[in-house]
Amino acid sequence: MTNLDAIEDTKRSKKVLVLFAHPAQTRSEVNVPLFHEAQLNKHVTAVDLYAEYPDFNIDIEREQQRLIDHDVIVFLFPLYWYSTPSILKEWQDLVLEYGFAYGHEGTALKDKLFLCALSAGGKEEAYQTNGFNHYTIRQLLQPLEQMAQITHMTYIAPFAIFGSRTAQEEHRVIQHKEKWVTLLNKLTTNTLNLEKAKNIENLADLCTAQGD
């Protein structure tokens, strides 16, 4: 790689913040491996929220600075009752303050990219209008989509892993990890097709190693 390429490379590269929330990591079979992959990527800041704030005493100042320092914000979590684990809700309630994230002067998050990466125990067929859970994942995550919009961020489809309770038994973890690594690489190098990413149902479908 020539120097020029390197400069070009850093210009294009995006800083990704992964906010990971899993309150029972000893039981995790999918999320923790994904989080470890995120830790290995040097353009990604991987934060274990339950480790940093075990007593939910979230440092608002520090979390806001983290948001300012990154271009892409990712929530990584297992789906609990069709939503995030509670610390991510607490994080929103505390960190996304009036005058910072929203309101007339609250533009700190303007034009950042926001997405969810989550694992769901149920199968993909269950998350359909006519399925067991009646709504698609994208529909269920609409509160977060609206959060992104009111904070002036660009919202793209979630990276969803279905059937996570049996992923290990069915030897799918490796394959999920590969897609996740591909996604992180596309995000950090800014090579994700955003138009497609905004409109599809599951970002994982864009993350085959061959490209889109």
Which residues contribute to the site for another protein (CB under 8 A)? 55, 57, 60, 93-94, 97-98, 102-104, 146, 149-152
CB atoms within 10 A of CB 24: 10
Nearer to another protein, 84 or 164 (CB): 84
Strands 72-78 and 154-155: unpaired
Q: How far is the CB of 60 from another protein (least distance, A)?
A: 5
Q: How far is the CB of 155 from another protein (least distance, A)?
A: 8
Q: How far is the CB of 146 from another protein (least distance, A)?
A: 7
Q: How far is the CB of 5 from another protein (least distance, A)?
A: 30
User: Which of 179, 77, 175, 169 shows the shortest CA–CA distance to 120?
Assistant: 77
Nearer to another protein, 142 or 191 (CB): 142
Q: What is the DSSP string of 23-76?
A: S-GGG-SSHHHHHHHHHH-TTEEEEEHHHH-TT----HHHHHHHHHH-SEEEEE
Nearer to another protein, 94 or 173 (CB): 94
Nearer to another protein, 152 or 172 (CB): 152
Nearer to another protein, 100 or 162 (CB): 100
Element (H, E) at 160: strand 159-161
Nearer to another protein, 151 or 164 (CB): 151
What's the Cα-to-Cα distance from 22 to each of 4, 13, 26, 87, rounded to whole Å? 41, 28, 10, 9
| Strands, E assignment, 86-137 | 113-119
Write the Ramachandran bin of 82: left for phi over 0, alpha for psi from -120 to 50, otherwise beta.
Answer: left
Q: How far is the CB of 115 from another protein (least distance, A)?
A: 15
Q: Residue 129 class from Cβ within 10 Å (0-12 exposed, 13-18 middle, 19+ buried)?
A: exposed
Which residue type is seen at 56? F
Q: How far is the CB of 159 from another protein (least distance, A)?
A: 19
